Homo-oligomer: A and B are copies of this chain.
Amino acid sequence: MRDTVQKREILTFLRAKRQHYSAAQIYDAVRTKVPNLSLGTVYRNLGHLLEDGEIISVETSDKCVYYDGFIQDHAHFVCDGCKNIFDFPLKMDIASEVLDAGFSVESEKVVYYGKCKNCRDARI
């Protein structure tokens, strides 16, 4: 896997803040650094980075995938109100039945849905 400006800037952007971005948001942001970046390139790089485990993805009920440069195990909370995604620690044991069944677990995703404090208080 070759080292290109595009890939480097995408990864730098995703690592800069502990937030979660769609491909389109990444495209818009990174284009300020790499003006004629194309969306196809964003998708291709996100694919590579996912495969290499340099980023993770969050599938919400939303129609698009969100990407996360913070790759330590953690759970996500998706707010029904403001649609923000929050990180939370993950203290979870893989159900022993999975291992008993002879399955090998490579990764796990935990997503909570509900209302964050702000939206709950504001009744959004």
Contacts and interface: CB of A to CB of B under 8 A. Distances in A.
Contacts of A89: 95, 97
A95 B103 CA distance: 25
A113 B56 CA distance: 13
What's the interface size class on A, roughly? Answer: 35 or more
Nearest to A117: B102
A122 interface: no
Interface string A66-105: 0000000001010110000010111111110110011111
Contacts of A75: 95, 98
A78 to B, nearest CB: 10
Given A91-B93, A102-B120, A103-B116, 18 more contacts: A77-B98, A77-B105, A79-B103, A88-B97, A88-B98, A89-B95, A94-B112, A102-B116, A102-B121, A103-B112, A103-B115, A103-B117, A104-B114, A105-B112, A107-B112, A108-B112, A108-B113, A110-B110
